[in-house]
Amino acid sequence: MNQMLQDPDVQTSQQTQPPPVPPEPPPMPEHPHFAKPQRVAFVEACWHHDVVQEARFAFLKEAEARHLTHVDVFQVPGSFEIPLHAQILAKTRRYTAIVAAGLVVDGGIYRHEFVADTVIKALMDVQLRTEVPIFSAVLTPQQFHETEVHYDFFRRHFAIKGVEVAEACANTLLGLERLRGQVAAGIV
């Protein structure tokens, strides 16, 4: 029988040391609250839904952290259908903001740049006509191949865009809330 002999002092000191304590996560930033509750519509295209939904998941999480807790989700077939839906929602006056999410890829009879430009321009027109801010996470990759590598990349990319669009939405709504208060008070 071969046994290794160990110094009893070394063995005891190794056993009595407490395990390392993991570092504390950084505190969550405290975001400002709104004077009035905000209601947001999130309109997402179902084309490449497994990719686009990542923007919604990330948006909802970040929106909640930023006190945007009333979010209604609407789905449309593709990005081309988003502007009309956004316009109808804006005209209801139920929403203080609308967020659009979609993935426009090359295919069919339309060039993807044409579709994306048309969607963005239409969303801007709706925003200016209705004075309801509209935010876009409608993305057009230069190249998209239906491979797992591209799907994984764009899922992560849409998650990042979801956080960014939630931040832009909250900051814009806070700014508009202040501006409208100043206008009502005759300051501006």
Residue 8 above 70 pLDDT?
Answer: no
Name the one residue in this structure whose structure tokens are 């960014």.
Answer: 164
Closest CA to 36 of 78, 70, 2, 84: 70
Tell me the C-alpha to C-alpha distance, in Å, between residue 102 and each of 47, 54, 62, 141.
7, 11, 18, 11
Q: What's the rounded mean pLDDT across residues 57-68?
A: 97
Q: Does the domain formed by 36-184 have CATH 3.40.50.960? A: yes
Sequence spans of domains, the chain? 36-184
pTM to 2 decimals? 0.80
Confidence at residue 158, expressed as pLDDT on a 0 to 100 scale: 94
Predicted confidence (pLDDT) per residue in 31-57, tens digit: 888 889 999 999 999 998 999 999 999
Confidence at residue 17, expressed as pLDDT on a 0 to 100 scale: 73
Q: In whole angstroms, what is the distance from residue 164 CA to residue 184 CA?
A: 30
Predicted confidence (pLDDT) per residue in 141-173, tens digit: 767 667 788 888 889 999 999 999 999 999 999
Residue 111 above 80 pLDDT?
Answer: no
Confidence at residue 109, expressed as pLDDT on a 0 to 100 scale: 47
Confidence at residue 150, expressed as pLDDT on a 0 to 100 scale: 82
More confident residue, 122 or 28: 122
Q: Which member of 111, 129, 156, 180 is catalytic?
A: 111
111 is catalytic: yes
Confidence at residue 28, expressed as pLDDT on a 0 to 100 scale: 66
Confidence at residue 146, expressed as pLDDT on a 0 to 100 scale: 77
